[in-house]
Amino acid sequence: MNSVRLSIVIPIYKSYSTAVKAIKSCLVDGVYEILVIDDTPNKLSFARLSNQFLDYKNVFFFSNRVNRGVTFSRNRGFFEANGTHVLFLDSDDIFCGESVSKIIGELENNLQTHCVLFSSGVHRKDIFDRFGKWPLLLRNSNSGERTVCVKKKAGKPFIGILRGHELAGLARLGIRSSGYFYWSNIQAREYHESVEGSLSSQRLSSRRSRLISKGHFLIAFWLAREYSLFLAMKYLLKGFMYAGYSLWNN
């Protein structure tokens, strides 16, 4: 019997049609539970969506009273989850259900790891399976988009006020837990289609750049305090770059 129970958290915002496809892609053997966090909120549309999955006992729906942002929804899903590991899927993504046995096997083989970053199908070819403490996350942060899976015991994975900038939250997770990160080239999801309000549509916006700059400044501070002045300077400069972009586009 597997000691890993995989929970999948899907935050949604005005994306009910694509959310149906995302949820259905997770309805495969090996997935312990699926948690859908609605951040719209729209009681009527939310009810229509949840009613489609009444026959599935491992699909759970939660609705935020007011719009709190994708990071709040991911954190809420993390704390509501009852699995041993929580994987985060966007509503415009499709879970690679055929890979679930490989994903669980990877988690089983790395039980000491607090966070596993699975491939999303687009990554640098020179980044192979890697294992190490939290600075590894920051050295490899530009290796391509990854699917985040956090061990439930590791602690809160993201920083809510940054609303979507995951990197700083995961770095803080590594510092607080003295945890290990693992890069896996097993593909966990594939991109489906863009939805209204998705992070991809905000990636270069002024507000998005401002949040990324704040996250990079936090990372630079942690690095300077605990690890590497050279790497801290790199993130400090990147923080100023994003801050400048935010001011330029105001």
Give the whole-angstrom CA distance, residue 116 versus residue 216. Answer: 21
Find the mean pLDDT for residues 138-165: 88
Structural contact between residues 13 and 76, judged by C-beta atoms closer than 8 angstroms: no
Give the whole-angstrom CA distance, residue 103 versus residue 119. Answer: 11
Give the whole-angstrom CA distance, residue 64 versus residue 182. Answer: 32
pLDDT band at 49 (very low <50, low <70, confident <90, very high): confident
| Cβ neighbours of residue 68 closer than 8 Å, sequence gap 6 or more | 39, 160
Looking at residue 120, its pLDDT comes to: 86
Find the mean pLDDT for residues 235-243: 93
Looking at residue 20, its pLDDT comes to: 93
Of 43-47, 84-88, 148-152, 235-239, the least confident: 43-47
Q: What percent of the chain has pLDDT over 70?
A: 92
Calculate the alpha carbon distances from 184 to 97, 105, 108, 146, 152 in Å: 16, 11, 13, 9, 18
Looking at residue 193, its pLDDT comes to: 58
pLDDT band at 250 (very low <50, low <70, confident <90, very high): low
Looking at residue 204, its pLDDT comes to: 59
- List the one residue out of 3, 183, 5, 20 whose CA is nearest residue 86: 5
- List the one residue out of 210, 216, 209, 211 whose CA is nearest residue 235: 216
Q: What's the residue count for the chain?
A: 250
Looking at residue 48, its pLDDT comes to: 85
Looking at residue 4, its pLDDT comes to: 96
First to last CA, the chain: 55
* Residues 98-148: tens digit of each pLDDT: 999 999 999 999 999 999 999 887 666 667 788 999 898 898 887 778 899
Question: Could you write out the three-class secondary structure of 76-112?
Answer: HHHHHCCCCEEEECCCCEEECHHHHHHHHHHHHCCCC
Looking at residue 199, its pLDDT comes to: 46
Structural contact between residues 69 and 160, judged by C-beta atoms closer than 8 angstroms: yes
Calculate the alpha carbon distances from 214 to 55, 146, 164, 224 in Å: 43, 21, 12, 16
Looking at residue 10, its pLDDT comes to: 97
* Residues 163-211: tens digit of each pLDDT: 878 999 999 999 998 889 999 999 999 876 555 544 444 455 788 888 9
Looking at residue 143, its pLDDT comes to: 76
The H or E element spanning position 234 is: helix 229-248
